[in-house]
Amino acid sequence: MAHSAGKNLSAVLLLVAIAAVAGRIHAAESASVDHRPCKDHLSANYKGLCLAMINNNECDRVCLDESSDNMFGSCGFLQCWCQIKQMHI
């Protein structure tokens, strides 16, 4: 039985790692097409782990409800990140 529990734990850890990688890589997306930094921040209201393939819609909804300045929300590094609308000058 202990061997089976070890396999289950390994499978869960593997799924968490895959979910983290599947989420957007925050550092790699820190620049827009114009080479201006993105205006993203952690959601103040999202609760719990944010898994890209499971919770992206919920994160997006929370970010849009949080502020009219937010353009969308998405999961990254198991957290919900909100993207602020960029002002074009």
Q: What is the pLDDT of residue 32?
A: 40
We report the CATH number of the domain holding residue 46 as 3.30.30.10
> If you search the block for the tokens 């790699």, which residue do you land on?
28
pLDDT tens-digit profile, the chain (89 residues): 556 666 666 666 555 555 554 444 443 444 344 444 668 999 999 999 999 999 999 999 999 999 999 999 999 999 999 999 876 65
Could you tell me if residue 20 is inside a domain? yes
Angle made by CA atoms 51, 24, 68, in degrees to the nearest 5: 85
* Contacts of residue 85, Cβ cutoff 8 Å, sequence gap at least 6: 39, 69, 70, 71
32 in any annotated domain: yes
| pLDDT at residue number 88 | 60
Residue 59 lies in a domain: yes
Q: What is the pTM of this model?
A: 0.58
Q: In sequence order, which residues have a C-beta less than 8 Å from that of residue 86 and are 6 or more positions away?
A: 32, 36, 38, 39, 71
Neighbours of 63 (CB within 10 A): 27
Q: Is residue 89 part of a domain?
A: no
Place of tokens 């300045």: 69
Q: What is the domain count for the chain?
A: 1
Which range of residues forms the domain containing residue 55? 2-84
Give the containing element (helix H, strand E) for 59: helix 52-66
